[in-house]
């Protein structure tokens, strides 16, 4: 529960430390004293959206701190999820709001995102304001209220899981159907690609090899002329080098008869002549691979075919092979998608059947809940001085939605024999407040959240009806901490703890203070609420008697 709320520089509140107790806590004060600021402060520290306008004029920041203890298991689970210890069974939440518009959250002194504050807040506090009455006037919210009353959402969660899977399956199926026509066109393109490249059957780096062979073949005639010229000069011409070397060797042999030193020279010339003839043979071999005209024409045709295909697909020979392989895989995928289309159609039908069956079970469950809910709300309305008002739940079925196929609307019959009608048509503001409190009371029975805050839910209510609301809040406080901002003595007198919000103004500033009232101060405040600032002795006695009747003040 909320043990303490500390506020600094929030709107008209300069500084306030507000102790809170278990049971029923009431806040009262004159209009404009700043009661709503307390609610804004609690909402801020619980991670709700903030505004720099909340920062007190002239201050750099506002700071709100809330201390909770003991902690419900749901809050412990959130802390555990974020790796935060709760050994002391106490939780300190802080929210700093800067005048420049930024904000910082802290959990037990450590920086924390607003999302964590919200997650914790959802397990710690429920705030009910006069605007909550809109829930009763908006039928689209009624199904949520009915499910909340049911408590166990296992069937609803199972339905939602199946429904979301059905949606995913249907989306995929729709997408496949939309692209089916495009795929047929694409399939024809791929088949043409496979036929063209498959017939060509390009080999690795074939375009480069063909180009090299083509260029070599184009130069073959010139190569043959040059090579023959070299051979003629070396070994075949009338004055070729080989014959000249042979003649020189003969002369050296003859010279060796008289000069022995000429013999080695002759041997060297003979070796040189042998090397010369080898060179001539190798040169002649350069023209051995010359293509015939038919072979050259075939080479040219292949080169043109590979180059044309490469140009068309903006790639080379290796890229053509990759395109071919990719086309094969894409065709396989398209054919697989066709099979998947059939499978998904079958899967969607099966999922639709399962979802429909779960929706029917959910409808049956809600029909039972509706009867129980209407009966319990009727009991609460009777205790709130509305014994003739009967609430019923109209459940109708339509298309499948994430919440099932049901639509719920709360109807009321204001008097016996009158047909039930939508709440918005016949309920007054005061009746709406009491009906909303009845709903809160019924839901609180199933609600593990420890603290319930009611912000002026008594709008439009007075007299005996207000007394009944006070009694109902007191009854709720036996199982929850109840914090109520009220302007009615009938509610405030039922509280176990009473706090006064007062505004003090000077010529230069305005501030608000929060005070815990003792018995005498409480009598004076109840008298003020009943009759104004100038309370007579009789009014003070009446206030004291109201507190004693409620059990909030001991007998004299």
Domain boundaries, the chain: 2-151+414-516, 183-335
| pLDDT at residue 495 in the model | 94
**Continuous segment of H or E residues that includes residue 497:** strand 497-505
Closest CA to 385 of 446, 462, 443: 462
* Phi, psi for residue 348 in degrees, rounded to 5: -60, -40
Q: Which tokens in the block code for residue 253?
A: 């042999």
| pLDDT at residue 119 in the model | 92
Closest CA to 409 of 153, 135, 149: 135
Distance of alpha carbon 81 from alpha carbon 466, whole angstroms: 43
| pLDDT tens per residue across all 556 residues of the chain | 999 999 999 988 888 899 999 999 999 988 766 777 888 899 999 999 888 989 998 899 999 999 999 998 889 999 988 888 877 889 999 999 999 988 999 999 899 999 999 999 989 998 876 556 667 778 888 998 899 888 888 999 999 999 999 999 998 888 777 776 677 778 888 888 889 888 888 898 988 888 888 887 777 667 777 877 887 888 887 788 888 888 888 888 888 888 888 888 888 988 998 898 888 888 777 766 666 668 778 888 888 988 998 898 888 989 898 999 988 888 877 776 667 778 888 999 999 999 999 999 999 999 999 999 999 999 988 888 888 888 999 999 999 999 999 999 999 887 888 888 888 777 666 677 788 888 888 887 777 789 988 887 777 777 888 888 888 899 889 889 999 999 899 999 999 999 999 888 777 777 888 899 999 999 999 999 888 777 788 888 999 999 998 888 787 7
Please compute, for residue 513, the number of CA atoms within 13 A of its CA located in the half-sphere on the CB side: 5
Degrees to nearest 5, angle at CA 284 with 282 and 289: 100
Distance of alpha carbon 384 from alpha carbon 113, whole angstroms: 41
| pLDDT at residue 289 in the model | 60
Which fold is adopted by the domain 2-151+414-516?
Rossmann fold (3.40.50)
Beta-bridge mates of residue 397? 406
Q: Answer yes or no: are the C-beta atoms of 438 and 454 closer than 8 Å.
A: no
| pLDDT at residue 2 in the model | 95
Distance of alpha carbon 239 from alpha carbon 222, whole angstroms: 23
Q: Answer yes or no: are the C-beta atoms of 384 and 441 closer than 8 Å.
A: no
CA 135 to the chain's CA centroid:
27
User: Measured between alpha carbons, how far is residue 220 from residues 224, 234, 236, 283, 286 in Å?
Assistant: 6, 21, 21, 13, 9
Query: What is the value of pTM for the model shown?
Result: 0.63
For the chain, the first-to-last Cα distance in angstroms comes to: 32
387 Cβ partners below 8 Å, 6+ apart? 381
* Phi, psi for residue 550 in degrees, rounded to 5: -85, -5
Distance of alpha carbon 552 from alpha carbon 529, whole angstroms: 16
- Burial class of residue 176 in the structure, from the number of CB atoms within 10 Å of its CB (0-12 exposed, 13-18 middle, 19+ buried): middle
Distance of alpha carbon 388 from alpha carbon 413, whole angstroms: 8
Distance of alpha carbon 414 from alpha carbon 401, whole angstroms: 32
* Phi, psi for residue 403 in degrees, rounded to 5: -105, 10
User: Measured between alpha carbons, how far is residue 156 from residues 159, 160, 448, 535 in Å?
Assistant: 5, 6, 19, 56
**Could you count the other beta carbons within 10 Å of the beta carbon of residue 396?**
10
Q: Answer yes or no: are the C-beta atoms of 147 and 354 closer than 8 Å.
A: no
Q: Answer yes or no: are the C-beta atoms of 379 and 137 closer than 8 Å.
A: no
User: Measured between alpha carbons, how far is residue 342 from residues 184, 188, 335, 347, 443 in Å?
Assistant: 16, 21, 11, 9, 47
């Amino acid at each position: 529960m909320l043990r303490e709320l500390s506020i600094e520089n929030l709107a008209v509140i300069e500084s306030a430390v507000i102790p809170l107790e278990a049971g029923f806590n009431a806040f009262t004060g004159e209009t404009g004293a700043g009661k709503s600021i307390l609610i804004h402060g609690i909402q801020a520290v619980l991670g709700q959206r903030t505004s720099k306008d909340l920062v007190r004029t002239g201050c750099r920041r506002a700071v709100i701190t809330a201390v909770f203890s003991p902690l419900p298991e749901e809050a412990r689970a959130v802390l555990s999820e974020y790796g935060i210890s709760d050994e002391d069974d106490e939780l300190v939440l802080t929210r700093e709001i800067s005048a420049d518009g930024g904000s910082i959250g802290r959990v037990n002194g450590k920086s924390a995102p607003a999302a964590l504050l919200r997650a914790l807040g959802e397990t710690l506090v429920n705030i009910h304001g006069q605007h909550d009455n809109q829930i009763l006037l908006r039928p689209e919210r009624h199904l949520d209220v009915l499910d909340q009353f049911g408590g166990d959402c296992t069937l609803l969660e199972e339905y939602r899981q199946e429904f979301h899977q059905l949606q995913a399956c249907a989306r995929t199926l729709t997408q496949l159907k939309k692209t089916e026509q495009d795929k047929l066109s694409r399939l024809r393109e791929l088949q043409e690609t496979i036929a063209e490249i498959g017939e060509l059957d390009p080999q690795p780096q074939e375009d480069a090899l063909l180009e090299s062979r083509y260029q070599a073949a184009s130069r073959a005639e010139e190569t043959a002329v040059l090579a023959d010229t070299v051979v003629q000069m070396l070994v075949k011409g009338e004055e070729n080098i080989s014959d000249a070397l042979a003649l020189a060797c003969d002369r050296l042999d003859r010279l060796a008869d008289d000069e022995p030193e000429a013999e080695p020279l002759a041997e060297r010339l003979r070796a040189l002549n042998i090397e010369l003839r080898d060179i001539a043979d190798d040169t002649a071999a350069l023209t051995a691979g010359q293509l015939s005209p038919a072979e050259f024409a075939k080479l040219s045709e292949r080169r043109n075919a590979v180059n044309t295909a490469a140009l068309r697909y903006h790639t080379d020979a290796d890229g053509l092979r990759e395109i071919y392989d990719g086309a094969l895989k894409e065709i396989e995928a398209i054919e697989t998608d066709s099979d998947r289309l059939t499978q998904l159609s079958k899967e969607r039908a099966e999922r639709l059947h399962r979802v429909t069956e779960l929706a029917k079970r959910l409808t049956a469950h809600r029909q039972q809940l509706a009867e129980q809910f209407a009966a319990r709300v009727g009991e609460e309305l009777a205790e709130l001085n509305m014994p003739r008002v009967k609430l019923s739940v109209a459940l109708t079925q339509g298309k499948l939605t994430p919440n099932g196929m049901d639509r719920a609307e709360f109807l009321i019959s204001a008097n016996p024999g009158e047909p039930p009608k939508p709440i918005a048509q016949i309920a007054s503001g005061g009746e709406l407040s009491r009906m909303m409190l009845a709903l809160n009371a019924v839901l609180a029975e199933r609600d593990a959240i420890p603290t319930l805050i009611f912000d002026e839910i008594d709008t439009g209510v007075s007299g005996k009806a207000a007394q009944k609301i006070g009694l109902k809040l007191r009854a709720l406080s036996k199982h929850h901490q109840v914090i109520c901002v009220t302007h009615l003595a009938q509610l405030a007198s039922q509280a176990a703890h009473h706090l006064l919000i007062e505004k003090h103004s000077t010529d230069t500033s305005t501030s608000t203070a929060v005070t815990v009232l003792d018995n005498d101060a409480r009598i004076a405040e109840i008298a003020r609420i009943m009759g104004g600032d100038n309370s007579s002795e009789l009014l003070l006695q009446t206030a004291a008697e109201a507190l004693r009747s409620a059990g909030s003040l001991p007998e004299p």
